[in-house]
């Protein structure tokens, strides 16, 4: 177990594993995502209440889901950074933060466009959309702080502290935004969480979520590899790797 | 081995005057801010000016101001606190006091708590005291003003506490001020929501004791967790410089 | 099996087409862009480091060659 943990901390070992994993992640991710999306777009039955606009769900829910779970993963990595000083964990945080931000933006965008036929306006200060917007701000904060501190070690730990402070706040933010929402407007038509979703709807949804997860894994591996190349460029194995063109 | 551990583990109060050290930190910070009177006044003036902008920029109508007044005052107080946060550690960082503070035998947690208390006494508390006056100017009702001051009284220490984390993280960075706002504003949102929400609920005649209690819970949570995060962030920032 | 009778119906989606297709378009644009950008970043890093290595090795070769050159230059005098 400890040996595994040590190995996991080794950039060289991780680089090799990532190279071997990435084709599978990419192919599996694209296949699952496309299957889910095509199924959802063309074959899933029409929703009796919202008509065809509900088909946005097949990308809205995966992006929203990923956006939230990426922040949780970053928090776990932040703990690892602070407790074990593992460099790869910090690399994970700064590699995936932009991915999280893009997916959060996509969740917001698809939610807003979905809102137009459903609510009649592009933007509504709905509890879910609002907490998503705040999550986007949290991502921006992490990215900005990661870029602002030059020293690698203190940058890693400062970002980790910020991510952890953010993750403590997320439930509080969610709760308070929901309360604020009930205070200012009666419960509106909810986008997701239909109580009775037939299998023809949730199976493609699940496929799309899994597919996007795999693509995220691929992106994380790729971006972490880039980070390793930059950080370890003085080591012999990276120079060897660069000379042979990455094989 | 109970006897052995009682010898080795020094209880918190038995440190070389934890209370005395905290009082010394508070007194020193207060003295420093009274010497730099402009730093003391600036957030207050900012608070007043931001509130003034709304009747000018939106509408001086009584109905609008009555409805939006709480929000305006809360947002202005939040921004004023944010503006003052940069000073929380900056002076001490520049003249090396912070380094000495971190070498003290007393727990850094408590010393930070003392610093934040001093910061709140010179920025948060004046904002709370000034709020009734501005509340009258935006036509809030008497009852609302009372509740508003109460929420500000509980809320501004939370703002100072959360802000201390951001101030510690951005210490010594060149573009610290803007970055600090970027990091901290999302974390301020729950306080803002409950601060204004409580006043709104009171205006509708709903009982507010539960909301006040919840804000109190925020304060307790911030008191216990924020100095820890601040201490960790300070150690990181100091090791960097 | 399919939820639509024709391709035209599929694209129109009973009036909701523009919304649905905008969402899917932006989604694939951004995810694809993110993927392309990440690939490019790694490739650029690889290339610049390769250039650096080559420069270093030519510089080292030059340094090794230099003493010999100065030696020959000194020799006639």
Q: Which residue's structure tokens are 């934040």? A: B116
Task: Report the distance separating Cα B189 and Cα B184, nearest Å.
Answer: 9
| Positive or negative: CA dihedral A217, A219, A221, A224 | negative
Which residues in chain C touch residue A223, judged by CB atoms under 8 angstroms apart? Answer: 38, 41-42
Q: Which of B157, B225, B218, C21 is nearest to A114 (CA)?
A: C21
Average pLDDT over residues A55-81: 92
B touches C (3+ CB pairs < 8 Å)?
Answer: no
State the pLDDT at residue B15.
54
Taking an 8 Å cut-off on Cβ atoms, the answer to whether C1 and A43 are in contact is: yes
Which residues in chain C touch residue A18, judged by CB atoms under 8 angstroms apart? Answer: none
For the segment C16-60, what is each residue's pLDDT rounded down to a tens digit?
A: 888 888 999 999 999 999 999 999 999 999 998 888 888 888 888
Nearest CB partner across the interface for A140, out of B182, B190, B233 = B182
Average pLDDT over residues A50-74: 89
Which residues have a Cβ under 8 Å from the Cβ of B169 and sit 6 or more positions away? A145, A158, A161, A162, B180, B183, B233, B236, B237
State the pLDDT at residue A105.
95
Cα–Cα separations (whole angstroms), residue C11 to A16, A48, B213: 44, 19, 54
Nearest CB partner across the interface for A59, out of C10, C27, C41 = C27
Percent of chain B with pLDDT over 90: 45
A47 DSSP β-pair partners: A51
Residue A7's pLDDT band (boundaries 50, 70, 90)? low
Residue A4's pLDDT band (boundaries 50, 70, 90)? low
Which residues in chain A touch residue B193, judged by CB atoms under 8 angstroms apart? Answer: 176-177, 179-180
Q: Where are the domains of chain B?
A: 17-240
A51 DSSP β-pair partners: A47
In C, residues 35-64, which contact A (CB 8 Å cutoff)? 35, 38-39, 41-42, 45-46, 49-50, 52-53
C-alpha distance from B237 to closest chain A C-alpha (Å)? 7
Minimum mean pLDDT among A45-49, A164-168, B164-168, C4-8: which range?
Answer: A45-49
Which residues in chain A touch residue B197, judged by CB atoms under 8 angstroms apart? Answer: 179-180, 183
Question: What is the interface size between A and B, counted as CB pairs within 8 Å?
Answer: 74
Q: What is the mean pLDDT of chain C?
A: 80
State the pLDDT at residue B16.
61
**SS3 label, residue C76:** coil
Cβ-count burial B142-173 (b if 16+ within 10 Å, e if not):
eebbebbbbbbbbbbbbbbbbbbbbbbbbbeb
Taking an 8 Å cut-off on Cβ atoms, the answer to whether A52 and C13 are in contact is: yes
Taking an 8 Å cut-off on Cβ atoms, the answer to whether C38 and A238 are in contact is: no
Measured between CA atoms, the residue of chain A closest to residue C47 is A242
Taking an 8 Å cut-off on Cβ atoms, the answer to whether A164 and B165 are in contact is: no
Task: Report the distance separating Cα B149 and Cα A244, nearest Å.
Answer: 68
C-alpha distance from A58 to closest chain B C-alpha (Å)? 29
Task: Report the distance separating Cα A210 and Cα A25, nearest Å.
Answer: 11
Taking an 8 Å cut-off on Cβ atoms, the answer to whether A148 and B170 are in contact is: yes
CA dihedral B115→B117→B121→B122, nearest 10 degrees, is 20
Interchain CB contact of C22 with A (< 8 Å): yes
C-alpha distance from A121 to closest chain B C-alpha (Å)? 23
Task: Report the distance separating Cα A40 and Cα A55, nearest Å.
Answer: 6
Answer yes or no: are the C-beta atoms of B81 and B159 closer than 8 Å.
Answer: yes
Average pLDDT over residues A152-179: 89
Nearest CB partner across the interface for B179, out of A144, A172, A179 = A144
C-alpha distance from C51 to closest chain A C-alpha (Å)? 10
For the segment B65-110, what is each residue's pLDDT rounded down to a tens digit?
A: 888 889 999 999 999 999 888 888 888 888 888 888 888 888 888 8
State the pLDDT at residue A28.
95
DSSP characters for A13-46? HHHHHHHHHHHHHHHHHHHHHHHHHHIIIIISPP
Task: Report the distance separating Cα A97 and Cα A73, nearest Å.
Answer: 10
State the pLDDT at residue B141.
86
Cα–Cα separations (whole angstroms), residue B165 to A166, B66, B226, C13, C61: 11, 34, 7, 50, 52
pLDDT at A184 over 70: no
pLDDT at A123 over 50: yes
Which residues in chain B touch residue A162, judged by CB atoms under 8 angstroms apart? Answer: 169, 183
Q: What is the mean pLDDT of chain B?
A: 86
How many other CB atoms are there within 10 angstroms of residue A118's CB atom? 22
Give the number of residues written for chain B: 241
Of these ranges, A23-27, A153-157, A183-187, the one predicted with the greatest mean pLDDT is A23-27
Q: What is the mean pLDDT of chain A?
A: 86
C-contacting chains (≥3 CB pairs under 8 Å): A
For the segment B82-94, what is each residue's pLDDT rounded down to a tens digit?
A: 988 888 888 888 8
Taking an 8 Å cut-off on Cβ atoms, the answer to whether C42 and A222 are in contact is: yes
C-alpha distance from A180 to closest chain B C-alpha (Å)? 6
Side-chain half-sphere exposure of B203, counting CA atoms within 13 A = 19
Average pLDDT over residues A211-226: 95
Side-chain half-sphere exposure of B117, counting CA atoms within 13 A = 14
């Amino acid at each position: 177990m400890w040996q595994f943990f040590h190995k996991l901390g080794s950039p060289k070992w991780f680089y090799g594993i990532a190279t071997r994993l990435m084709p599978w992640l990419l192919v599996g991710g694209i296949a699952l995502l496309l299957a889910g999306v095509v199924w959802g777009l063309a074959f899933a039955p029409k929703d009796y209440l919202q008509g065809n606009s509900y088909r946005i769900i097949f990308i809205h829910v995966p992006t929203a889901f990923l956006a939230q779970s990426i922040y949780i993963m970053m928090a776990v990595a932040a703990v690892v950074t602070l407790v074990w000083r593992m460099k790869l964990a910090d690399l994970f945080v700064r590699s995936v933060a932009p991915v999280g931000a893009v997916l959060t933006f996509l969740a917001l965008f698809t939610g807003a466009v979905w809102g137009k036929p459903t609510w009649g306006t592009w933007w509504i200060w709905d509890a879910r959309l609002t907490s998503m917007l705040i999550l986007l701000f949290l991502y921006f904060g992490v990215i900005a702080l990661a870029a602002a501190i030059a020293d690698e070690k203190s940058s890693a730990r400062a970002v980790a502290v910020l991510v952890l402070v953010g993750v403590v706040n997320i439930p509080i933010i969610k709760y308070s935004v929901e309360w604020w929402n009930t205070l200012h407007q009666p419960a509106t038509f909810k986008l997701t969480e239909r109580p009775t979703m037939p299998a023809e709807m949730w199976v493609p949804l699940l496929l799309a979520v899994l597919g996007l997860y795999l693509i995220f894994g691929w992106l994380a591996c790729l971006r972490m590899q880039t980070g390793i190349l930059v950080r370890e460029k003085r080591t012999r194995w990276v120079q060897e790797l660069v000379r042979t063109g990455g094989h | 081995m109970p006897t052995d551990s009682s010898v080795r583990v020094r209880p918190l109060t038995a440190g070389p005057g934890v209370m005395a050290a905290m009082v010394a930190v508070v007194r020193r910070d207060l003295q420093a801010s009274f010497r730099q009177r402009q730093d003391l006044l600036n957030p207050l003036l900012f608070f007043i000016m931001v509130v003034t902008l709304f009747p000018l920029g939106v509408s001086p109508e009584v109905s609008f101001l009555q409805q939006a007044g709480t929000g305006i005052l809360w947002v202005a107080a939040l921004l004023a606190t944010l503006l003052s946060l940069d000073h929380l550690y900056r002076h001490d960082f520049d003249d090396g006091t912070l380094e000495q503070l971190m070498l003290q035998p007393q727990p850094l947690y408590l010393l930070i708590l003392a610093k934040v208390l001093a910061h709140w006494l010179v920025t948060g508390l004046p904002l709370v005291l000034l709020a009734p006056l501005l509340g009258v100017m935006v036509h809030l009702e008497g009852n609302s003003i009372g509740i508003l001051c109460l929420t500000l009284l509980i809320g501004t220490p939370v703002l100072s506490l959360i802000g201390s984390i951001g101030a510690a993280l951005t210490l010594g960075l060149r573009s610290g001020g803007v970055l600090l706002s970027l990091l901290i504003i999302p974390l301020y949102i729950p306080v803002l929501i409950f601060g204004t929400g409580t006043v709104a609920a009171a205006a509708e005649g709903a009982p507010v004791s539960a909301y006040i209690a919840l804000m109190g819970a925020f304060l307790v949570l911030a008191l216990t967790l924020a100095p820890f995060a601040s201490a960790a962030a300070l150690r990181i920032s100091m090791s960097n410089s | 099996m399919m939820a639509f009778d024709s391709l035209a119906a599929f694209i129109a989606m009973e009036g909701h087409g523009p919304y649905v297709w905008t969402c899917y378009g932006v989604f694939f644009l951004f995810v694809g862009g993110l993927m392309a950008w990440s690939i490019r970043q790694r490739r650029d890093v690889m290339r610049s480091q390769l250039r650096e290595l080559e420069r270093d090795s030519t510089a080292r070769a030059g340094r090794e060659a230099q003493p010999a050159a100065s030696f020959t230059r000194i020799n006639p005098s």
